[in-house]
Structure 1
Amino acid sequence: MLRKIVGMIVCFSMIFTLVGCSGKENSEAKVTDADFEEIVKTAEGTTVNFYGYGGDEVMNKWFDSYVIPQMKEKYNITVKRTGMNIDEIMNMMLSDKQAGNTEGNIDVVWINGENFKTAKESNLLLGSFTDKLPSYNNYVNTESEDVTTDFGVSTDGMEAPWGKSQFTVVYDSNRKNRNITDSESLKNFVKSNPGKFTYPVVSDFTGSAFVRNIIYDIVGYEKVSSLPEDKEKVKEVIQPAIDYLNEIKPYLWNEGKTYPADLSQLDNMYSDGEVDATMTYNCNSIRGKIDTGEFRDSSKITEFKNGNITNVHFLSMPFNTQNQEGAMVLIDFLMSPEAQASKTFTENWGDATVLDMDKLSDKEKKEFSADSVVIEKSVPEPSAGMVSIIEEIWTDEVLNAK
């Protein structure tokens, strides 16, 4: 989910322009008043354009070989998936908004966190729609904070939960000091295997998560979560973690002079043996990548003793979708017990379900994978504003450190 520096400059300049008028409601379109049965009828025979992260080949294969055929068979809807980094997707939506383009190319966007915050504040989303979806109403715990908020931002029905993610570091357990349980043992691993560890820049979603998890492990989630969104105060509290990241920097790949641009690049480096570790927001995807030969058999996940960051990822519709009915049918299907069960298998994707299992029948429950990896100790994400502050501090104090 790379956001290149140039892209960031363009993106932020648009954000400032848009936020200035964010009090205005989107006049281009609104969520249909039709019920779901009518929505399904209207969507029949149409095409839905799905945009989201495309760097996970196991997930891509599942989507293309399962979701697309199922949507055609069940609803006569053609789904086209476009894999794209979230920075590019955000820039597309921001550009459309600034240009007044009411005929967008995106119908469904895979989004969460600070990007949802930006999209919501800048009126880039169509509106509240989840109450229209049977799968959401029948199978999701709609009162759960995981669903009602996204990195501390109220979802207000503007995005539908799709899956749960748990961050972890993946490493080759055949290497020296291979038992990683916390930041200290990770440091030993890094120093014992110089040049064989790195992490993406924080403009990448997973690289940012690595930095946050190190901060949590060293400083403590409680101290970070109670902080005001004030850069100087945050910097003071997280300084021990910043010192840690600078301490390991000379031992990183390329001596920490550069960092991978995104997770896809890091995964490729790990696959090629250039580094001995990568990272992911999907613990269950590792088994699938081992089975396909993408990752080595000795790959192991890290369970930080102070907790691994966990969050929910969502689906939404841009303000200028050309097919909101088809988009809602696709989103509803992706939340259905059938699709949610399918993606829990590691050979498909290994993504954890967002459904409330107590709302499923015994027969439906049996369709889910019994081998899903769940890290027992999890910690929530900080607010979206806090994420941005931490990323700024890392850029100033680690990336650009003299």
Structure 2
Amino acid sequence: MKHLFAALCAALAGTAWAEPDPANWQDVLDEANGQTVYWNAWGGSTTINDFIEWVGTRVEEEHGVKLEHVKLTDTADAVSRVIAEKSAGQDADGAIDLIWINGANFSAMKEADLLFGPFAEALPNWQFVDVDGKTVTTDFTVPTEGFESPWAMAQVVFIYDSEVLPEPPKSAEAIRDWAAMNPGRFTFPQPPDFLGTTFLKQMLIELVEDPTILQQPAGDDYAQVTAPLWDWLQDVTPDLWRAGRAYPQTGPSQLQLINDGEVDMAISFSPGEATTAIANQQLPESARTFVLEDGTLGNASFVAIPYNASAKAGALVVADFLMSPEAQLRAQDPEVLGFSTVLDMAAIPADDRAGFDALELGVATLSPAELGQALPEPHPSWMTRIEADWAERYGVGN
């Protein structure tokens, strides 16, 4: 019996050791070679889809990892899939290997122990990440603790047609007043689309009496704190595009409305999106970008690996490549994505730094100085409750 117990312990220990360890990177690369990684990521942007396809080409060329982009309309769908697998006892060979994730979805998976890791800080390219100057170790106030790795920085900007709107409104009050004078010329994506919810959070941060309260979980004072947002929406909604009876479903849909001359400005979470859209003939050459006078929200995009992923080693390789100077430079190119980098320019090799220094950000992209300091994201609980309340009050069909 003693020998049987010892054998069982050894078998269990062997199972634990079988998990890939990013600290032993060559072992990870050996295991990853030949794996297929199913990356569940938002699929609503052609430029992002093309970038993910390029990532797949590069990791297959370099490491023999095949990348399949599972296009999502809502990241919560991937979270629900992992939860369903756990409920069914499927603790290995899961359908999802990597998720583009942040905010409430990350918080929910972390709290439910649905994530593999910690892994991020052991990845080879972590040495280049700007951990002091950028918000890459917390996600909507929740410590990441190595359970997700960053691959892009984002900050809210507003895109507008400068020929139609020479002086755009740069505060919540100014947007409300401008919308009243120009009915039908503004809208935002329909929550729970992340940009639609982001717009609601951006307005709340400006309208709330003390924005620091949003750094804590929403509590019994939720109704009191959010009352100014609902008052503002009550004023502005009748003056939105189609009188608030319909909303674009995605960020790219907003840009199409600008290009079609139906609205005059749109929210974006990518400072370089306007320049990229001009290059792709999705916006007129007169498109420009601005930020609100009191600042705008900023955060990082992360990837995480489910606890039961089938190709953990391959997922680690993809996560690491996304933080590489090569991938970061391509993502920042305004003709590709125009995303801001997560890297510390002082930490990367000189040849790579020269590539960033030579990159032209484009006519519609604000410089870091023009963007100003990004405002912190609220705790995820505020977003969850605001989304539900907005759907009850303003959801299409209500």
Q: Are 2:96 and 1:106 equivalent residues in the alignment?
A: yes
SS in 2 for 1:354: coil
Identity rate of aligned residues, in percent? 29
Confirm or deny: 8 A CA contact 1:357 1:365 kept in the other structure: yes
Whole-Å Cα distance in 2 between the matches of residues 296 and 337 of structure 1? Answer: 31
The aligned length equals 373
1:383 equivalent in structure 2: 379
1:57 equivalent in structure 2: 46
1:290 equivalent in structure 2: 278
2:125 equivalent in structure 1: 135
SS in 2 for 1:341: helix
1:19 equivalent in structure 2: none
**Per-residue Cα deviation, 1:102-151 (whole angstroms, up to 9, x for no partner):** 32222111000111011112222222112331101x11244667222111
Please, which of 173, 188, 200 is the counterpart of residue 199 of structure 1?
A: 188
1:8 equivalent in structure 2: none
2:247 equivalent in structure 1: 259
Q: Which amino acid aligns with 1:94?
A: I
The CA deviation at 1:304 is 0.5
Confirm or deny: 8 A CA contact 2:156 2:291 kept in the other structure: no
Q: Are 2:205 and 1:209 equivalent residues in the alignment?
A: no
Q: Are 2:113 and 1:117 equivalent residues in the alignment?
A: no
Whole-Å Cα distance in 2 between the matches of residues 286 and 117 of structure 1? Answer: 31
Confirm or deny: 8 A CA contact 1:29 1:320 kept in the other structure: no
Q: 1:28 to 1:399 in 2, by over 3 A?
A: farther
User: Aligned ranges for residues 43-82 of structure 1 at < 5 Å?
Assistant: 43-64=32-53, 66-82=54-70
Q: 1:298 to 1:141 in 2, by over 3 A?
A: closer
Confirm or deny: 8 A CA contact 2:37 2:67 kept in the other structure: yes
The CA deviation at 1:353 is 0.8
Whole-Å Cα distance in 1 between the matches of residues 161 and 182 of structure 2? Answer: 11
SS in 1 for 2:266: strand
1:242 equivalent in structure 2: 230
2:269 equivalent in structure 1: 281
Q: Are 2:139 and 1:150 equivalent residues in the alignment?
A: yes
Whole-Å Cα distance in 2 between the matches of residues 41 and 227 of structure 1? Answer: 43
- For the aligned residue pairs, the C-alpha RMSD in angstroms reads 2.6
More off after superposition, 358-367 vs 151-160: 358-367
Larger Rg: 2
Give the gaps of 5 or more residues in structure 1: 1-26
Q: Are 2:363 and 1:367 equivalent residues in the alignment?
A: no
Q: Which amino acid aligns with 2:383?
A: V
Whole-Å Cα distance in 1 between the matches of residues 42 and 345 of structure 2? Answer: 27
TM-score by length of 1: 0.85
SS in 1 for 2:37: strand
Whole-Å Cα distance in 2 between the matches of residues 398 and 33 of structure 1? Answer: 48
Q: Are 2:341 and 1:344 equivalent residues in the alignment?
A: no
Give the gaps of 5 or more residues in structure 2: 1-14
Q: Which amino acid aligns with 1:288?
A: T
Runs (4+) of structure 1 moved beyond 6 Å? Answer: 27-30
Whole-Å Cα distance in 1 between the matches of residues 329 and 158 of structure 2? Answer: 25
SS in 2 for 1:162: strand
Whole-Å Cα distance in 1 between the matches of residues 285 and 87 of structure 2? Answer: 49
Whole-Å Cα distance in 2 between the matches of residues 182 and 155 of structure 1? Answer: 32
The CA deviation at 1:276 is 2.8
Confirm or deny: 8 A CA contact 1:245 1:398 kept in the other structure: no
Confirm or deny: 8 A CA contact 1:165 1:312 kept in the other structure: yes
SS in 1 for 2:99: strand
